[in-house]
Structure 1
Amino acid sequence: MNNSDTSPIKTAFQPIVNQQCTVLLLGTMPGDRSLRLQQYYGHAGNHFWKLIYTLFGQPLEPDYESRKLFLLEHHIALWDVLESCTCEGSLDSNIKNEVVNDFAAFYHQYPNIGHVFFDSKKAEEFYLRYVKKSEDKIYHLLPSPSRANASKSFDQKLEAWTELLLYTKE
């Protein structure tokens, strides 16, 4: 780590995953609000959970534990590309000193995952830089669900995210 960097060190969450998961959704690193709440996509302005529930035609569940179960019921795993980093604020563009998660061990433990979806260009960028693509996986890039991605409306994001339905369980 660069000793002159005074940004806080951030550590990502454990994955939400089980042996039935066939799809992996990858972000970069939880934002400040998510880290405080200890919840993936904890910021109310982030469209992630609304996108997931809308895809399956269900009302958004407020309970976080229920949300995690909802993902698993549809064979969707959730994780971040980075295990830790330094970052001032929540923007991916501020990430420094990144350490990537151990994807070799993860894929070995969860061999049914065949589709990897990045929920931002930055998540894809870090993955390609440190992990590289595997021939036994198919990779997809989705528009970021973040409210910082104001170039796309919710409906435009939803249209792109419908690709998930091709590889998940209804």
Structure 2
Amino acid sequence: MSSCSGFAPILPENPTIMILGTMPSVASLEEAFYYAHPRNTFWPILAKAFQQPIETVEQKIALCRQHAILLWDVLAFCERSGSLDSAIKQPEANDFESLFKRFPDLKTVLFNGKAAQNLFEKQVMKTQTLPDDLVFHSLPSTSPANAQLSFENKRVLWHQTLEQTGVK
């Protein structure tokens, strides 16, 4: 079991949507950037959604900023062996209360997987004061551990939600 610390958020100037994962994977921690595992479909899904190349870290950050997407994780810290969300112990949430006060136009939260939603409900909604008008959407995890859905099925669900929320 090792201690894991999350990353600082990718902060656009005036975010309108936030995408939340749980905690960076071992591969992401090693690369020091979000969704770095080569089989994670997060960045390929966004590349197709916005029809722009996002191969470098700089391009990924630019895409988030260009489309007002705040990218972060539910947890700031945890204990975990490996990368599986099911292995998370002693979770500590990020400070969302301050974040929503700082960005009052931020009203939509997309969860990258059920585990992110469940952690947010347990670790954030029960302990922090959040705006009443937030809208939440749970999407299929882009993790390679989520093999139940094909890339195409994940892509379609993510694209539909991005369109519904006005991002795409």
Q: What TM-score bracket applies, with the shorter chain setting the length?
A: over 0.9
Counterpart CA distance in 2 for 1:168 and 1:43 is 28
Aligned-pair CA distance for 1:18:
2.5
* Unaligned runs of at least 5 residues, structure 2: none
Of 78, 93, 97, which residue of structure 2 is paired with 1:100?
Answer: 93
TM-score (norm 1): 0.91
Counterpart CA distance in 2 for 1:134 and 1:141 is 18
Q: Does 1:111 align with 2:104?
A: yes
TM-score (norm 2): 0.92
Deviation digits for residues 1-29 of structure 1 (CA, Å, limit 9, x no counterpart): xxxxxx11000000001232100000000
Counterpart CA distance in 2 for 1:82 and 1:158 is 25
Of 36, 43, 62, which residue of structure 1 is paired with 2:55?
Answer: 62
**Aligned residues with identical type, % of pairs:** 36
Say how many residue pairs are matched.
163
One-letter identity of the residue aligned with 1:147: P
Which is further off, 92-101 or 128-137? 128-137
Aligned-pair CA distance for 1:165:
2.5
Aligned-pair CA distance for 1:168:
4.3
One-letter identity of the residue aligned with 1:102: D
Deviation digits for residues 60-109 of structure 1 (CA, Å, limit 9, x no counterpart): x2210121111110111100000000000000000001001111011111
Of 1, 9, 21, which residue of structure 1 is paired with 2:3?
Answer: 9
One-letter identity of the residue aligned with 2:49: L
Counterpart CA distance in 2 for 1:71 and 1:85 is 26
C-alpha change, 1:168 and 1:71, in structure 2 (3 Å) is farther
Q: Which residue of 2 aligns with 1:3?
A: none
Counterpart CA distance in 2 for 1:115 and 1:92 is 23
After TM superposition, what 4+ stretches of structure 1 lie above 3 angstroms from structure 2?
Answer: none
